Structure 1
Amino acid sequence: MRTQQISFGIIVASIAIDQAEQPIMPEPSFYKALCLTGKKHGIDVYVFDAAGLPPHTNELHGCRWEDDRFIRQPVPLPDIVYDRCFFIDAAQQLACRIMLGRLAAIKPYQQLNGRLPSKLDVYESLKEDGALARHLPHTHSFQTAEQLLALAKRQALGIILKPSSGMQGRGILHVTRNPLEGTLHVKGRSRQNRSFTLAFSSDDAFKHWLSRFVHHAPYLIQPYLELSGEDRKPFDVRALIQKGQKSDWLVSGVAVRSGIAGSLTSNLHGGGVAHPAAQLLSAKFGKAESERLLEQIHTISKQTAEQLESKFGRLAELGLDYGIDRSGHIWLLEANAKPGRSSFQRNGDQEAERLSIERPLLYARTLTRRLSPSFVANETANGRLLHASPNNLLRPFNVQEVHR
């Protein structure tokens, strides 16, 4: 029986057109790789946005990679939608939601990657698993400056205040109190991702500044973990876990990102550098301990994916960020439903980079094959019709940071 070609649509928040009438979009190298790999597997891959389905028409326009460039052209309605939307405002989000609602009414489809709720909800769900709970930093929802100061007083190394919907380490703070002088010291990154340090001689001055900095945005409080080596460079471990062709969870790659000495974060956008995981961990902990740590990270990653999927519905991939303290204890810091891939490109891990691109496509084919032998594209993976509504189609993935 001839395999019917799958239409794999990547939705992004916006596609602009430059003066040469060339499409401008986020993550172009990633989408190019998906397009080229899709051709090898008989999958038609294209990129589209809310403007791709104008009002009063059922014709979708998207961008395919052809003749060494992206070309905007009419495309078939998608069987699979891969959400890579990173919104800059509510208007973009609403436009995408309305468009996807119209799209589903014309032809039901499946969304490849599921969604996660708030960071706090993710933390609470993972904490229910005893094996995972020991790897989670205690997390509180930020309510008041008084609450923050009380928690900071109980932590010898201070506390971390981070946005509930942060990206790339922006807006993160490390707050400590000098026990002798009583002054408060703040090290952080602005929303423009610039490092800064401040000192406050009084609690009132700190509270006034914090109110303006937070500005009603949701934040989380965690104890500060010493996640840097003797070189004072902070580092974390990014594990990418994805559904494979058999719908099982597989770790596609692990990379270590190290930041600038004395910096608060190791994000690549903040000046961090990606390294092969085994190489850097061996240098810090020795070869035997490095192998133990990586094996444990694989185990925790699979347990995390299974737990989150059992709580929040089917997922396709997760970027999981870990910290390792000086005693060798592993801490799960972030769960990211829209993970980036550039760590593997930057550290030269070609196999991880290949798998990170190929597995979403192979999983998409598996999803469609489950529907029926003849590939009926309007049913869900378990055989039920997809009842798509605008409220269910797209919501901000406000749980994760995006580390490219």
Structure 2
Amino acid sequence: MSADSLHENSSTPKIGILTVGDRSDQFQGNRSNFIDLIRIGQSYGAKVYVITAEDLNLSNSRIHAFCYDFQNEAWFRQWMPMPQVIYNRIPYRHQEMQLEVQQKIHACTKNKHLYLFNPGFFNKWSLYKWLSESNETNDYIPTTQQLTTSSEIESLIKLFPIIYLKPVRGKAGKGIMRVERKSLYPMAPLYKLTIQDQTKSQHSMHTSMTTLWKKIQKYQKKQEYIIQQGIDLACNKERPYDLRALIQKNSKGEWSVTGIGARLAGASSITTHVPRGGSIEDPEKMLSQTFGNELAQSILKQMKSTALFIAKHIEKTAGQLLGEMSMDLGIDKSGKTWFFEANSKPMKFDEPHIRKKSLERIIRYSLFLAKKNKKKR
């Protein structure tokens, strides 16, 4: 053990960023993000370090952690005290779902001497069930069903001209499909299927539900999907856009909107995701150009209160300790707010002012939990 960790001030708050190891005896995850958190932690008087699920043993009072040397721009291993607060940033769902990892996360959530927040990825179907079963949040949810047979597609496409098929455990828009009803005649149906692949979209026309379903099943494989009403989103330059909100807990442990960004769909994309041709835009500018300044301000205000309300409801229904989530919200052409998705492991926001505030809030919320932990002891 180094002199630094031996003489670590016992009153210094200690925050662990949880991830998983890799084959080179290091760790996985967004390293630049971790370095930023360590730097912000230092400025707030906290010790922040990276820990892996493999090294986590709650029966020990210390852990072999990864620390960062800013002078030499290098990671190094060091024995550190067990953190009081753990921020879960395991990058992939399949890693988090491993039995040993699940057991350790569960043990952390039950441990009286530490707080672990954001214990797991959200499941899209669970989210829609939680929100649609409440009268207070149901109004923001597009009609959504589990996809099991072609009959769900058949019934929903009769009600809505466009429907979306989304993987329950999807990320960044991968695997999303869109079905458009092109003909209203029962004797001569025509459907257009668009499948969003890694970087491009593939299109096919179908004159029967049978051929459409075969094509969907071929792509779907064994993945679980939901099927959802398509919303006629507000547009700019004849392209739809939606809004992405970052909601985090602040230094008092209360939910607050950190920032909202707008994403304009790419020319040939069925979603607004940036890796698929979408662009980052200013939300006030987008809304003002669509609805005028006064109504745009009213929509933004309403959207923030809606996002906060939904975040509180998700945390309460999930029965988990959460510290942040990103939320995809849509505004239709009448100005109504719709909820599309929430992510418990938000990707980095590209807007610098949101990015800076988001890092500070993670640390400040962690300090709030560390203080709470101290009182509890």
Which TM bucket (shorter chain)?
A: 0.7 to 0.9
Q: Does 1:232 align with 2:238?
A: yes
Aligned match of 1:132: 137
Q: Is the 8 A contact 2:262 2:281 kept in 1?
A: yes
| Helix, strand or coil at the partner of 1:216 | coil
Which residue identity lines up with residue 13 of structure 2 in the other structure?
A: I
Aligned match of 2:31: 28
How far apart are residue 298 of structure 1 and its match?
1.0
Aligned match of 1:206: 212
- Structure 2 segments unaligned to the other structure (5+ residues): 1-8
User: Relative to structure 1, is the Cα distance of residues 65 and 94 closer, same or farther in structure 2, using a 3 angstrom cutoff?
Assistant: farther
Q: Is the 8 A contact 2:113 2:373 kept in 1?
A: no
How far apart are residue 104 of structure 1 and its match?
8.6
Which residue identity lines up with residue 146 of structure 1 in the other structure?
A: S
Aligned match of 1:386: none
Q: Is the 8 A contact 2:121 2:345 kept in 1?
A: no
Distance 1:50 1:294 in 2: 40
Distance 1:355 1:305 in 2: 18
Q: Does 1:333 align with 2:340?
A: yes
Q: Is the 8 A contact 2:181 2:190 kept in 1?
A: yes
Q: Does 1:48 align with 2:55?
A: no
| Helix, strand or coil at the partner of 1:137 | coil
Distance 1:91 1:315 in 2: 16
User: Relative to structure 1, is the Cα distance of residues 99 and 67 closer, same or farther in structure 2, using a 3 angstrom cutoff?
Assistant: farther
How far apart are residue 125 of structure 1 and its match?
2.2
Residue of 164, 169, 174 corresponding to 2:173: 169
Residue of 151, 155, 159 corresponding to 1:154: 159
User: Relative to structure 1, is the Cα distance of residues 287 and 29 closer, same or farther in structure 2, using a 3 angstrom cutoff?
Assistant: farther
Distance 1:193 1:94 in 2: 32
Q: Is the 8 A contact 2:262 2:282 kept in 1?
A: yes
| Helix, strand or coil at the partner of 2:369 | helix
Distance 1:158 1:101 in 2: 41
Which residue identity lines up with residue 357 of structure 2 in the other structure?
A: L
User: Relative to structure 1, is the Cα distance of residues 101 and 67 closer, same or farther in structure 2, using a 3 angstrom cutoff?
Assistant: farther
User: Relative to structure 1, is the Cα distance of residues 65 and 115 closer, same or farther in structure 2, using a 3 angstrom cutoff?
Assistant: same
Distance 1:169 1:136 in 2: 18
Q: Does 1:363 align with 2:368?
A: no
Q: Is the 8 A contact 2:269 2:276 kept in 1?
A: no
Q: Is the 8 A contact 1:9 1:47 kept in 2?
A: yes
How far apart are residue 42 of structure 1 and its match?
1.4
Distance 1:16 1:268 in 2: 30
Q: Is the 8 A contact 1:234 1:262 kept in 2?
A: no
Aligned-pair identity (%): 25
How far apart are residue 274 of structure 1 and its match?
1.4
Distance 1:106 1:175 in 2: 47
How far apart are residue 327 of structure 1 and its match?
1.3
Distance 2:301 2:214 in 1: 46
Report matched runs for 1:312-391 at 5 Å. 312-313=318-319, 314-345=321-352, 350=353, 352-373=354-375, 376=377
Q: Is the 8 A contact 2:144 2:228 kept in 1?
A: yes
User: Relative to structure 1, is the Cα distance of residues 242 and 102 closer, same or farther in structure 2, using a 3 angstrom cutoff?
Assistant: closer
User: Relative to structure 1, is the Cα distance of residues 303 and 73 closer, same or farther in structure 2, using a 3 angstrom cutoff?
Assistant: same
Which residue identity lines up with residue 43 of structure 2 in the other structure?
A: K
Q: Does 1:78 align with 2:54?
A: no
How far apart are residue 293 of structure 1 and its match?
1.1
| Helix, strand or coil at the partner of 2:166 | strand
1:144-180 Cα shifts (integer Å, max 9, x gaps): 012212221221x221111111101111111123215
| Helix, strand or coil at the partner of 2:98 | helix
| Helix, strand or coil at the partner of 1:301 | helix
| Helix, strand or coil at the partner of 1:26 | coil
Residue of 250, 254, 262 corresponding to 2:260: 254
- Structure 1 segments unaligned to the other structure (5+ residues): 377-404
Q: Is the 8 A contact 1:234 1:263 kept in 2?
A: no
How far apart are residue 188 of structure 1 and its match?
2.2
User: Relative to structure 1, is the Cα distance of residues 28 and 228 closer, same or farther in structure 2, using a 3 angstrom cutoff?
Assistant: farther
How far apart are residue 112 of structure 1 and its match?
2.4
Which residue identity lines up with residue 170 of structure 2 in the other structure?
A: G
1:214-243 Cα shifts (integer Å, max 9, x gaps): 122111111111225152323110111111
Q: Is the 8 A contact 2:67 2:75 kept in 1?
A: yes
How far apart are residue 34 of structure 1 and its match?
0.5
Residue of 269, 279, 293 corresponding to 2:275: 269
How far apart are residue 115 of structure 1 and its match?
4.4
Residue of 285, 288, 293 corresponding to 1:287: 293
User: Relative to structure 1, is the Cα distance of residues 160 and 98 closer, same or farther in structure 2, using a 3 angstrom cutoff?
Assistant: same
| Helix, strand or coil at the partner of 1:130 | coil
How far apart are residue 356 of structure 1 and its match?
0.4
Distance 2:128 2:96 in 1: 29
Residue of 184, 195, 204 corresponding to 1:188: 195
How far apart are residue 342 of structure 1 and its match?
2.3
How far apart are residue 92 of structure 1 and its match?
7.3
Which residue identity lines up with residue 64 of structure 1 in the other structure?
A: Y
How far apart are residue 95 of structure 1 and its match?
4.7
How far apart are residue 371 of structure 1 and its match?
3.1
Distance 2:172 2:150 in 1: 24
Which residue identity lines up with residue 43 of structure 1 in the other structure?
A: A
Q: TM-score, normalised by structure 1?
A: 0.81
Q: Which has the higher contact order (CA 8 A, sep 6+)?
A: 1
Which residue identity lines up with residue 270 of structure 1 in the other structure?
A: R
Q: TM-score, normalised by structure 2?
A: 0.86
Distance 1:100 1:248 in 2: 23
| Helix, strand or coil at the partner of 1:327 | coil
